[in-house]
Homo-oligomer: A and B are copies of this chain.
Amino acid sequence: MAHPLWQIRPDTTYLNHGSFGPPSLPVIEARRQWQEELDQQPMDVFVRRQEAALLAARQRLASWLGTSADNLALIDNATWAMNVVAESVVLGEGDNVVLSDHEYGAVERIWQRACLRSSAELKTAVLPSRFEDPDEVVDAVLAACDERTRLIVVSHITSPTAVTLPIARICERARQQGIAVCVDGPHAPAQIPLDLDQLGCDFYTASCHKWLSASFGSGFLYVHPQQQTSIRPLLLSWGKLPPEEPSNWYDDFLWLGTRDISALLTIPVAIDVLEEIGLEHFRQQGHQLACFARQQLVEKLGARCLVADDPCWYSNMAHVELPVQDASGMQQALWDQHRIEVPVVHWQDRWFIRVSCYLYNEQAEVEQLVEAVAGLLSR
């Protein structure tokens, strides 16, 4: 193990922090302590301490993300947050929602259902086949929009393809045309700097159990002040615990019936951990290893990349296309034969490998991966 604060199972070479980012030891300990107190005296925890703890966690996250706490709801994950947006955005018959062709499958499903229910149309913006010029990406997104477009849904860092998209420029152009933007950002927090107020989007959905390494089941929904009156929580409970009553958009996310929200409460600890390590150092180290991974995969496998070799397009994930027609068994084979965890992605009838580089990863692990993939490809 290359970092004392992360304890990956010893048999595993874990190169998939982007899917599920194991929490650091301080995060695990913070959660364990909260759960222990909860299990021994639930009244004291749920009724007397939970709301204040949740609001404090929200405040810390909001400051870290460059926005006001009033614009943030803590939610288990980005998928949940995206469902809230889909429930809240009013679509009329004939309106449309534009998604890029790099969006996450579950997000597509969410918007298919939302559009179907409202007799609205789901449109796809086809992004460039090679990412070299940010303006080309912005143009491609806006080209798919028309006067009936109510919302653009676009990833900050795409999931199947690991591309960092020029979100600020997309938001700027969309705003000029009066179109709202929902940024799907589960891969962004910690991996890249984030200033939500400056970004200018209407909604931002994210998970904190990826690059921020908070506990599993932690994320948030950012809502621009202009959109807050339209927010409809999916789950309705008391809002605030009686005798108080919910009075703003966020209150209905505070109390969703009895459940364990300790994962959300680890967010401040996760921020502390990365700040102590140094976010610049964290990003540089990860990016350097991702560069190395990309270079090795290109050189040793003859793999191609979707993005130019520029940090504006990728940070801590290396992503290459595998030079093979069918890699459907490869992810499982890498695990079975080499105990390597890495996603082998099927996207647009091609196969890709996405290598996440975190603080605990080492160059030797990447070399091991490249060798293993080369071996599997040569069969």
Contacts and interface: CB of A to CB of B under 8 A. Distances in A.
Contacts of A341: 41, 43-44
Interface residues of A, number: 57
A40 B8 contact: yes
B77 A41 contact: no
Contacts of A28: 39
Interface in A1-59: 7-9, 12, 14, 16, 19-23, 28, 31-32, 35, 37-44, 46
A109 B46 contact: no
B259 A263 contact: yes
A146 to B, nearest CB: 26
A43 B23 contact: no
B242 A105 contact: yes
Interface string A260-286: 100100000000000000000000000
B39 A110 contact: no
A273 to B, nearest CB: 14
A337 interface: no
Given A236-B106, A238-B109, A216 B258 contact: yes
A376 interface: no
A257 to B, nearest CB: 3
Nearest to A342: B43
Contacts of A105: 238, 242
A242 B257 CA distance: 30
Contact of A19 (B43, B83, B215, B238): B43
Interface string A225-265: 00000000011111100110000000000001111100100
A79 interface: yes
A209 interface: yes
B263 A263 contact: no
A259 B77 contact: yes
A252 to B, nearest CB: 9
Given A215-B260, A216-B258, A236 B113 contact: yes
B263 A260 contact: yes
B106 A234 contact: no
Contacts of A12: 41, 43-44
A217 interface: yes
A105 B238 CA distance: 7
A216 B79 contact: no
A23 B41 CA distance: 10
A17 to B, nearest CB: 9
Q: Which of A8, A16, A79 has the most CB of B within 10 A?
A: A79
A100 interface: no
Contacts of A335: 43
A76 interface: yes
A158 to B, nearest CB: 16
Q: Which of A46, A113, A257 has the most CB of B within 10 A?
A: A257
B216 A260 contact: yes
Nearest to A263: B260
Interface of A: 7-9, 12, 14, 16, 19-23, 28, 31-32, 35, 37-44, 46, 76-80, 83, 105-106, 109-110, 113, 207, 209, 215-217, 234-239, 242-243, 256-260, 263, 335, 341, 346
21 contacts: A9-B41, A16-B43, A20-B43, A22-B39, A32-B32, A39-B215, A76-B259, A77-B256, A77-B257, A77-B258, A79-B257, A106-B237, A110-B236, A110-B237, A207-B258, A216-B258, A216-B259, A216-B260, A217-B258, A259-B263, A260-B260
